[in-house]
Chains A and B, each alone.
Chain A
Amino acid sequence: MLAYILRRLGQSVLVMAVVSLISFSLFNFVGDPVNNMVGQEATREDRVKIYQELGLDDPIFTQYFRFVGNAVRGEFGLSYRSKRPVDELIKERLPATLELVLVSAVIALVFGIVAGVYTGIRRDGWLSKFILSSSLVGVSLPTFIIGIGLIYLFAVTLRWLPSSGRAGIVDLGWWRTSFLTLDGWRSIILPAITLSLFQLTMILRLVRSEMLEVMQTDYIKFARARGLSERAINFTHALKNTLVPVITIIGLNIGALIAFSVITETVFQWPGTGLMFIQAVDFADVPIMAAYLCFVALVFVVVNLIVDLLYVFIDPRIRITGR
């Protein structure tokens, strides 16, 4: 069991090392960092000076380890465009993204699992059939179209909710939240729904198909043959077994939410890290791209580590075999 955790931890570190290597090589692939720092009109001496200041004359390994060392402390240098430290920019915009992702994740999980279980149990009900057919439409709706549609309906036509931006922010000093005001909730609700809808349908379909699969197993048949009630079979026996694969998806799901926050934030002009990233790509602002890449990978790795640990609690087979 300890070996299992250690192995997972080792894998996570390995993944992060590779991702940091990729981020690092971005600096070398995309444009000339010195050019990006000083602009076209700098003299040759200036260039050499900056070249040395940045340590670009060191061997590539030294540069990489320096990059990793800095990255571990959260330092990714200055943004080419705004000339501000990248970590400061990220810290500034992180709360917006995390709050958006959190609200979406809650929406996606709660509605996805409830609807999935419902459609798995009531296979032939009209509501199940309705949910299922609309879920197929849901999978087919690109995030940005959902966003545009919601904006057009609720902001442009009905004028109930703001179309873009993040309003009603309360500064807690270390965190700028929009959870504490009505305006804040009004501005987060459309982007959160937009972001969650795709994931919601995915979770729904997954939970349903897992539920159906578990219902076919011998131990469910045996539970029936012992005369246990439908309730006990559905909720004690089936649901727990359904959750095992679903938890994996939740891990992937958080990563996907962050990825799609790039799109949602663009549509709603939500001032989060995603919007920052897309602007950075537009301007080939490598430090921000590199930092964002590491950030996303880190979130993913941490979430998956947590998921792996959760497995240990849910599935007793892992505790013994260590696999």
Chain B
Amino acid sequence: MLLEIDNLDVDFKARRLTVNAAKSVSLHVEAGEVLGLVGESGAGKSTIGNAIIDLLEPPGQVSDGSIRFNGEELRGKDEDAMRHIRGDRIGMIFQDPQTSLNPLLRIGEQLVETIQKTKRVSQAQAQQNAIELLESVGITEAKARMRSYPHEFSGGMRQRVVIALALAGDPDLIIADEPTTALDVSVQAQILDLIRGLCKTRNLGVIIVTHDIGVIANIADRVAVMYRGNIVETGDVKQILGDPQHEYTKSLISAVPPADKRLHRFASVDYIDGTGDATANTMQRIDINTHWLGKQSQLQQTHIDKDNKAPAIEVSDLSLSFKLQGAILKRNRRMLKAVDCISFAIAQGESFGLVGESGSGKSTVARLIAGLHKPDAGSVEILGQSVLGSQKDPLVKAARLNLQMIFQDPYSSLNARLRVLDIVAEPIRFYKTSDNEKHTRQIVKDLLDHVGLGADAALRYPHEFSGGQRQRISIARALASRPRVLICDEPTSALDVSIQAQILNLLKDLQEELGLTLLFISHDLPVIRQMCDRVAVMRHGAICEIAETETLFESPQHEYSQHLLKLMPRMDVFG
């Protein structure tokens, strides 16, 4: 038994209350096996990793239980003794390779320093070891790269360096805390392969801490599921994913969008008390013909009538370049083609997906359509009206009003200084689409109720809400403009899976009810499959392939689409 944790309690003592981040946690790891520790944010999974190497952020402390490493009790060891455990016998890998390396030191220096600390070897020997280490984690021309600084590496390469640093002391156990969360899908797969390979060849014990069930399915031998500081279920990965016993595990797994089939909506994911899926049962369906949301303001009505059959969004030959490096001479300027000659049309009522890795330009397309960037060339039409002309033109204004957007980051998409009421009421008040202030408040409460927040939310401030609830506020704000087209730019990528399932359900319901057109942008293929009728795959600013969702997933035509689909984490690998 490499590591054995028994009844571990970790407390964070604040001034008034004590938070139990981990409650009687028991786990064990054998040499040569990968243990996945999975849970949503706030489950306490990272706390366990930090507790093992005694690096809990104050005021956190282990209050009870035991941590035995190779039969030796780690609890109660002094700082000096722990320093010889860390690095030498237990290695740690953190989430974000951008910030894990000291930007001012060459990676060679950082490696040599660590090697010399853990093994008493000469400078030259340490250099040699460092080069071998870099090679073993898949860095080519290791000798030359020793002299590079961290910023000269890409994200994936940096994470390899981080892994090399964690391996420098030849540890028996590696704790990897969300090691691939900050990386792109294709890089993610490589890093996971590397970790799994190292585990087997060096006979290491590995603990992978992650929120992503896909990662667990790909790499782990055994899984421990954490929920609110408790381990609710442990077992073999096949058993946990295929036949979960605990209610929480069941709802967690049912919230993961399946990659292989399209569901009508996600099964009940309301295990998480307090934040239950309010929309599922309590929401009253509204009749679009009589409800406020169904009416059109004068501005909208006079210019774009209801029988308009033009595509909701039509873009053609859209291009935009960003200046990477300004220079006086034109030939010295470095430009990035963020969007390169893109054309597509979305019919009214359709759900259209844009999928691609980070930097593919998919968000830029959304911003171009929403008018947040001005294109270098090409045209954008909303409901048949070109919107690139003068923004003062009432026709352009009316068309723009028919399009609203939901953003990625729920924490920055709401003005923290305004009450929820004022946030949601802003478009209503600005365009005077209600009869009076009392009516405005009624509409806002109605909207908040409809997105599953309850009317009471109106008088509170954004910081009182969780990420998922904030996203609901964003949706209510977008609806307050009475749009017919909704752009969703990665609306759930900052959320936990169970919350993601709720928000996706809400969006589906709203679309059905209000006949909205959706432009749905995501890097997450399974999510796209659940949400969209048609999909465009983007890469380097251009569209590789546009196809019906089912067609794309069953028989992708373009090489890049095939590549992406192959990398897509599948839950069914073991099942």
Q: What residues of chain A have their CB less than 8 Å away from a CB belonging to chain B?
A: 217-219, 221-229, 232, 236-237, 240-241, 244, 314-317, 320, 322
Contacts and interface: CB of A to CB of B under 8 A. Distances in A.
A232 B149 CA distance: 19
Contacts of B499: none
Given A227-B118, A232-B117, A237-B102, A222 B92 contact: yes
Most buried by A among B101, B103, B104, B114: B104
B94 A226 contact: no
A237 B105 contact: yes
B361 to A, nearest CB: 22
Given A241-B102, A314-B104, A226 B169 contact: yes
B87 interface: yes
A217 B88 CA distance: 22
Given A317-B149, A317-B151, A320-B151, A227 B104 contact: no
Contact of B87 (A221, A225, A317, A322): A225
Contacts of A227: 82-88, 117-118, 169
Contacts of B55: 221, 224-225
Most buried by A among B85, B88, B105: B105
B165 interface: yes
A259 B35 CA distance: 63
B99 interface: yes
Nearest to B49: A225
Given A218-B94, A232-B113, A226 B168 contact: yes
Contacts of B99: 217-219
B393 interface: no
Given A218-B99, A232-B113, A226 B87 contact: yes
Given A225-B55, A226-B86, A227-B169, A219 B102 contact: yes
Nearest to A238: B102
Interface in B88-102: 88, 91-92, 94, 96, 99-102
Given A226-B114, A314-B104, 10 more contacts: A222-B162, A226-B165, A226-B166, A226-B168, A227-B86, A227-B87, A228-B113, A229-B117, A236-B105, A236-B113
A221 B118 CA distance: 17
B53 interface: yes
A222 B113 CA distance: 13
B168 A225 contact: no
Contacts of A225: 53, 55, 86-87, 91-92, 94, 166
A217 B118 CA distance: 23
A312 to B, nearest CB: 12
Contact of B102 (A223, A224, A320): A223
B152 interface: yes
Nearest to B85: A227
A236 B117 CA distance: 14
A120 B315 CA distance: 56
Nearest to A319: B149
Contacts of B162: 222
Interface of B: 53, 55, 82-88, 91-92, 94, 96, 99-105, 113-114, 117-118, 149, 151-152, 162, 165-166, 168-169, 325
A13 to B, nearest CB: 16
A241 B104 contact: yes
A232 B115 CA distance: 13
A132 B531 CA distance: 57
Nearest 7 Cβ contacts at the A-B interface: A227-B87, A227-B86, A225-B92, A226-B87, A218-B99, A316-B149, A219-B102
A314 B151 CA distance: 14
Contacts of A223: 102
A229 B83 contact: yes
A244 B102 CA distance: 13
Contacts of B53: 225
Nearest to A224: B55
Contacts of A244: 104
Given A227-B88, A227-B118, A236-B113, A222 B104 contact: no
A219 B101 contact: yes
B105 A226 contact: no
Nearest to B332: A3
Given A222-B162, A226-B86, A317 B118 contact: no
A228 B86 CA distance: 8
Contacts of B91: 225-226
Nearest to B165: A226
Given A225-B86, A227-B118, A229-B83, A315 B94 contact: no
A222 B100 CA distance: 6
A224 B86 CA distance: 8
12 contacts: A219-B100, A219-B101, A219-B102, A222-B101, A225-B86, A225-B94, A226-B87, A226-B165, A227-B83, A227-B85, A316-B151, A320-B151
B82 to A, nearest CB: 8
A317 B149 CA distance: 8
Contacts of B114: 226, 228
Nearest to B80: A229
Contacts of B86: 224-227
Contacts of A322: 325
Nearest to A323: B325
A226 B117 contact: yes
B94 A222 contact: yes
Nearest to A322: B325
B550 to A, nearest CB: 42
B104 A240 contact: yes
Contacts of B82: 227
Contact of B94 (A221, A228, A317): A221
Nearest to B106: A316
A274 to B, nearest CB: 38
B348 to A, nearest CB: 46
A295 B166 CA distance: 54
Contacts of A219: 99-103
B57 to A, nearest CB: 9
Nearest to B87: A227
Given A226-B86, A241-B103, A218 B149 contact: no
B542 to A, nearest CB: 27
A80 to B, nearest CB: 44
A124 to B, nearest CB: 11
A320 B117 contact: no
Nearest to A316: B149
Contact of B104 (A218, A228, A232, A316): A316
Contact of A320 (B104, B152, B168): B152
Nearest to B82: A227
A316 B102 CA distance: 11
Nearest to B118: A227
B275 to A, nearest CB: 30
B105 to A, nearest CB: 7
A232 B169 CA distance: 16
B192 to A, nearest CB: 20
Most buried by A among B94, B102, B103: B102
A315 B104 contact: yes
A237 B103 CA distance: 9
A229 B80 CA distance: 9
A219 B104 CA distance: 11
A172 to B, nearest CB: 41
Contacts of A314: 104
Contacts of A229: 83, 117
A317 to B, nearest CB: 5
A222 B114 CA distance: 11
Nearest to A226: B87
A227 to B, nearest CB: 3
Contacts of A240: 102, 104-105
A317 B153 CA distance: 12
A227 B90 CA distance: 9
